[in-house]
Amino acid sequence: MSKVSLSKDKIKILLLEGVHQSAVETLKRNGYSNIEYLKTSLPENELIERIKHVHFVGIRSRTHLTETVLNAAEKLVAVGCFCIGTNQVDLDAAKRRGIAVFNAPFSNTRSVAELVLGEILLLLRGIPKRNAMAHRGQWFKSAIGSFEARGKTLGIIGYGHIGTQLGIMAENIGMKVEFYDIEDKLTLGNAQQVQNLTQLLQRADVISLHVPETPQTKNLIGMAEIEVMKQGAILINASRGTVVDIDALAEALQHEKLAGAAIDVFPVEPKSNDEEFVSPLREFDNVILTPHVGGSTQEAQENIGIEVAGKLTKYSDNGSTVTAVNFPEVSLPELSNRSRLLHVHENRPGVLTQINQAFAQHGINIAAQYLQTDDCIGYVVIDVDSDHSEVALKELSAVEGTIRARILH
C-alpha cells in the first residue's frame, strides 16, 4: 500500500469520545482542518463504516479498535489514544498494518494520584458510610472505624508514574509507603519495595492498584489475595477493571473483611452516560464508586489534547514516532527542501539492501536515512531530492515485505 503526500485539508481526522477542544485547536494550528468531532464512542458497525475513510483517529478508553475494526481502516495512518491506557487497541494488529499508536503517558498522572489520596483520607475516616447515612436522615456521630492517615501503611501495587506520585503525596501526610512491582524500581522518598505481593497485602492498611491491564494483572486481586489482607483494610482500584475480581470484593465487603473500597474502573463499563451502571458494589455504603474519572480533570484533559494531537501532527508532518507505543521509535529532524519517504516493512533480512540497490539503480541519492526495527516490523525513513521522490516511492512500494510507504514534501 503506498500513498502520495496529501495536502493537509485532505487528511481526514475523526475524534471520538469528546476529547478536549485543545486537541482540535492543536490540529487546526498545525494546518489540519478536516476534522470530524463526536462527543461519544461509536457502536462497532458504525465505527467500521466511519474508520474506512479516515487517516487519523482519536479515541479514549471506550472505543475498542479490534482487529475486525482495523481490517476496515484502509487509510488509517495512526491512532491517538487521548489517555494513558492503550489496552482498548489491538496494538499488535495495528503494528502489522503499519498503523502507529500514540498515547499521553503522563498527562493525567497527577489527577489520578490526587483522587486516590482523597479517597484514602475519606475511607480511613469512614466518611462514605456516614455521608450515605446522613443523606438518608441518619446521624452516625461516632469515632468507631475512623482513623488518621498518619502512620498508616499504604501498599502500592504498580510503582510507575501514578504509583510513585501517589507514594510521594501519601508520605507528605505521614503515611508509610511500601510497594510491589514486577520490576526493580528506583524508590522515591522513603518508600520501600517488597519482594512479593503477599507480603505487601499482609502489611498494608490501604492497598492501591496502579498496574496496566495485561494477562498477568487479570484478577490480580481475587478471593485468595483479599484473604491475606489485614482485617479492616481498604482496597482502591483506579487502574483497570479487569484487575480486581468484583464478586470476590463484594463478598469480602459483605463479611466485613474490608472496611471499605474505592473503585473507579470496572470489568464492564457503561458505553455512554445514558446507560445504567450495573454492579454488585452498588449496595455498599462504604464503597466509593466513580465512573472511570480518575484522569478526568480539566487540566489533564487539556494537556492530553495538546500532547496527543501534537504527536499525531508530528507523525503526519515529519514521520517522527517518538513515544509511539507499538512502533519502532525514530526521532527525526524537520524536513527542509527535500522529500521524505516513510517505509514500514516486515522485519525480514534483506529489505534495506533491496531498497538501497533499487535507489542506486535509479541514481537516487540518499541524503539521510534512519532505521529502527523491532521483532515484527522495520521503519525506515529516507530523505531524497524532491526531483527523485516519485520514482523513489514507486521503488519503495515494490520492495518485498512492504506494509506501507508514504511520502512527505
Ligand X SMILES: O=C(O)CC[C@@H](O)C(=O)O
Instruction: Respond yes or no: is residue 276 known to be catalytic.
Output: no
Q: How far apart are CA 295 and CA 20, in angstroms?
A: 13
Q: Which does 238 bind (CB under 5 to 8 A by kind): ligand X, ligand NAD, none?
A: ligand NAD
Q: Is 176 in the site for ligand NAD (CB under 6 A)?
A: no
Nearer Cβ to ligand X, position 64 or 96? 64
Nearer Cβ to ligand NAD, position 208 or 402? 208
42-60 burial code (b ≥16 CB/10 A, e <16): beeeebbebbeebbbbbbb
Q: Which residue in 269, 302, 329, 346 is the catalytic one?
A: 269
Could you give the maximum distance between any two Cα atoms of the chain, in Å? 87
Nearer Cβ to ligand NAD, position 32 or 266? 266
Nearest approach in angstroms of CB 96 to ligand NAD is 23
Nearer Cβ to ligand X, position 108 or 313? 108
Q: Which does 56 bind (CB under 5 to 8 A by kind): ligand X, ligand NAD, none?
A: none
Q: Which does 205 bind (CB under 5 to 8 A by kind): ligand X, ligand NAD, none?
A: none
Return the number of other C-beta atoms located less than 10 Å from residue 12's C-beta: 18
Q: How far apart are CA 115 and CA 329, in angstroms?
A: 33
Helix H or strand E segment including 148: none
Instruction: Respond yes or no: is residue 135 known to be catalytic.
Output: no
Alpha-carbon separation of residue 116 from 7, 89, 197, 265 (angstroms) = 45, 26, 20, 13
Helix (H, G, I), strand (E, B) or coil at 311: helix
Nearest approach in angstroms of CB 179 to ligand NAD is 9
Q: Which residue in 292, 340, 388, 406 is the catalytic one?
A: 292
Nearest approach in angstroms of CB 295 to ligand X is 4
Q: Is 211 in the site for ligand NAD (CB under 6 A)?
A: yes
Considering only CA atoms, which of 145, 111, 127 is closest in space to residue 304? Answer: 111
Nearest approach in angstroms of CB 165 to ligand X is 14
Q: Which residues bind ligand X (CB under 6 A)?
A: 60-61, 83-85, 108, 295
Nearer Cβ to ligand NAD, position 195 or 337? 195
Q: Which of 205, 225, 245, 264 binds ligand NAD (CB under 6 A)?
A: 264
What's the number of CA atoms in the CB half-sphere (13 Å) around residue 1?
14
Q: How far apart are CA 60 and CA 289, in angstroms?
A: 20
Nearest approach in angstroms of CB 187 to ligand X is 24
Nearer Cβ to ligand NAD, position 108 or 321? 108
Instruction: Respond yes or no: is residue 334 known to be catalytic.
Output: no
Residue with cell 472511570: 292
Q: Is 240 in the site for ligand NAD (CB under 6 A)?
A: yes
Q: Is 389 in the site for ligand NAD (CB under 6 A)?
A: no
Nearest approach in angstroms of CB 35 to ligand NAD is 25
Nearer Cβ to ligand NAD, position 290 or 347? 290
Q: Which does 60 bind (CB under 5 to 8 A by kind): ligand X, ligand NAD, none?
A: ligand X
Q: Enter the C-alpha cell of residue 289.
A: 464508586
Helix (H, G, I), strand (E, B) or coil at 332: coil
121-138 burial code (b ≥16 CB/10 A, e <16): ebbbbbbbbbeeeeeeee
Q: Which residue in 55, 240, 343, 406 is the catalytic one?
A: 240
Q: Is 104 in the site for ligand NAD (CB under 6 A)?
A: no
Q: Is 241 in the site for ligand NAD (CB under 6 A)?
A: no
Q: How far apart are CA 39 and CA 14, in angstroms?
A: 11
Helix (H, G, I), strand (E, B) or coil at 396: helix
Q: Which residues are catalytic?
A: 240, 269, 292
